[in-house]
Structure 1
Amino acid sequence: MGACDVSFARSIRLTLGATALAATALTAVPAAAQDNSEVRIRKLEAEVRALQRKVFPGGDGKFFEPEISTGQGSVTFTPANPSTTAVTDILARLDAMEAQMQQLTAQVEENGNSYRDLASRLAALEVTSGVAAPGNPLPAATGPSALAPATATPAPAAARPAPTPAAAARPAGPTAERLAAVQAIMKPQTDDAGDDEYSYGFRLWDAKFFPEAQQQLALFLEKYPNHARTSWARNLLGRAYLDDGKPREAAPWFLKNYQADKQSARAPDSLLYLAESMIQLKDTDRACIALAEFSETYPAVASGRLKDQYEANRKKVKCN
C-alpha cells in the first residue's frame, strides 16, 4: 500500500471517529434531559399528593381517585373539578335543612296557637264552672255562680237544730260487717308496691266500698305522685266520688287529671266524666263546654272506645 492510501485510510478513520463521538454526544443529551424531566415530574406528583392529603384529610377516595399502579410506576388520577360534587351536595343538604326548618317553625307556631286556644277555653271552663283542680284554687273573683262545696260555713251552735233520735242512734263508724267485708278484700303483694296500692284501691271501688276506695286512692297519690298508674288513680278517685253520689267532690279530680297531662292514659275519660259531673249538678253550660272540648281534643276516642258514653252524655243535655 502506498503512502497516499495510508493517508486516505487514516482520514476516513478520523472522520468516522468524530462522527461517532458526535452521535454519542447527541444521544446522551436527550437521555439526560429525559431522566431529569422524569425526576421533576415524580417530584411534582408527590407534592400534589401531599397537597391533596392536606386539603382532603383521610384520602378515602371521596374527593379524588386512589393511586392506580401500572406496570410503569404509580399514576394518580384526579377528577377535573373535585370540589364541584362536594359543594353541590352541601348546597342541596342546606336547601333541605332550610325547608325542614321552615316546616318545623310553621308546626311550632301552629301548636302554639292551638295550645293558647285550649288554655283559653280551659280558663273559661274553670271560671264559668268554678271547679278548681286540687292544689290549683280558682281566684276569689269567680262570683256566686262558682261551684261551692255542699258544706258551707256552719251555722252557730244555737241556730242548729237538735239531732233527732234516729240521727243520734246512727253509728259513728262502719259496722262490724262492713269492716269484715273490707278486710276480706286482699291487697296484692308484688314487686311493685305502688301498683299494689293502686290495685287495692281499684278492688275496693269495684266492690262498691267507695269511701274506703277514696281513702286508699288518695293515699296512693300522696305516696306515688309520679307512678305509671297516677293518671288511672286520679280518674278512679273521681269516679269513686261520682259513684258515691258526690259529683261536686269528683269534678276537681277529673279536671286535675285532664290538665296534668292531656296525653295520659285516662285524660280522655276524666274530661268525659267531668261533663257527666256537670250534668249531675244540672249545669248544662259547663257540661257542654266539657263535651265540646272532649270531641275536639280526642276525636278518635269519641268515635271509638268512649263513643257510647259520649253519645249518652250528649243526649242528656242540649248544647248550642
Structure 2
Amino acid sequence: RNKDAVNVRFSGKVDYRCHLRCENQLNISSGFRFIHHDHFGFPYGAAHIMCPVPPSCESPAHIAITSAASEPKGTSFLCIVFFKNKTVIIIVNFFFTGLVQSLEMFKILGVNRVVVYKTNCSMETQRALNYYAQTGFVEEVPWSLSEFLSVSDYWSPEHNPGVLHYFGQIPALNDCLYRHMYQAKYVAMHDIDELILPHWVDLLPLLEKNFGVDKCYQFENNVFPNNIVLPPSMPETKPPAQGCWKSVTGVNILEHLYQEPVNLRNVGKSFKIIVNPQAVFTTSVHGVLKSTNGCVWVNRTIARMYHTRFEATWFGLNML
C-alpha cells in the first residue's frame, strides 16, 4: 500500500500522478483521493492519496506524488524503507515534566522508540528532546502545518477557531501509521499525558494470543485529575517533593493518584489504541476508520489507560 496523509478542503476535484521508482525504472500511475470523514467539524481534514502499484514494480524504492496538471520536473522523492519489530508512540503536544516522566515510563513499559510530532516547545523541552534523540529513543518530526493553514489548538471549532483540527492531529496520526508501517510491529497512538499499563512485553503477547496479531486493541480511559493530589478521603496535603522534581515546571504525574469514577457514557468516546500498522488503512483520534479486521476492547482487568489531566467533569464528556 502506498499512500500519503495530506490536508484537503472538502471541495473540488484534483487528479494526481504517482511516480514510483523500482529498479532504476520510473513507473507512473494515476492516483486518487480518499477523504476522511472524521474531521470534528473543521473545514479542512485529512485525506489519503491512493497510488496503485504496477505489477512490474511490486516493491518500489521511492515514491513522489504530483498534480496531473503540474510539470514533474524537480520532483522530490520519498524513500521507502523496510524494517521490523519496533514499537512506536505518537505524541503531538507536551510539557517538560510530563515529557520526561512519560519517556522514562515508556522505557519501563518496553517501548523501543517514541516519535514526537513537534509543533512548538521551550528551549528546556528541546534540550530534553535532543538528549533522547541522541540516544536513539526519540525520533522528532517537525509538524509545522501552521505555516500553511490556520490550525486550531483545540479539538472543536466552537472552542477555538481555525480551519484544521488540533494542530493537525489526525494527519499526524496517519503519517505516523504509514511512516512506520514496515518498521514497527506495533504503533500506539496516544498523547504524552496518557499511559497504557501494564508492561507491554507481557501485555502484547497476551493480546495476540487472545485476539490475534492483526487487530486494533482499544483501551479504556481512566482520568487522574492533575489538580487533586490525594483522594478526597485523605488530607489535602501534598506529599514530600520527589527530589529534583521540586523545582521542575509542569505536572508531576507521580503526585496524582486519585482516579475519577469511570463515566460509562464516555467509555466509547475517549479510548486510545495500539495497532498492528499493517492491519490498518486509516485512523483517527479515537480508534481506526478502516482496517482489515477491526478493533477489540481490552478488558480493564487486563489493561487500561491512565490519563493525568484536568478534571473531565469541568468540560463535559467529549474531551480528548
Class of the TM-score when normalised by the shorter of the 2 chains: under 0.3
Using the size of structure 2 for normalisation, the TM-score is: 0.21
- Rg larger for: 1
Larger fraction in helix = 1
Q: Name the structure, 1 or 2, with higher relative contact order (CA <8 Å, separation 6+).
A: 2
Using the size of structure 1 for normalisation, the TM-score is: 0.21
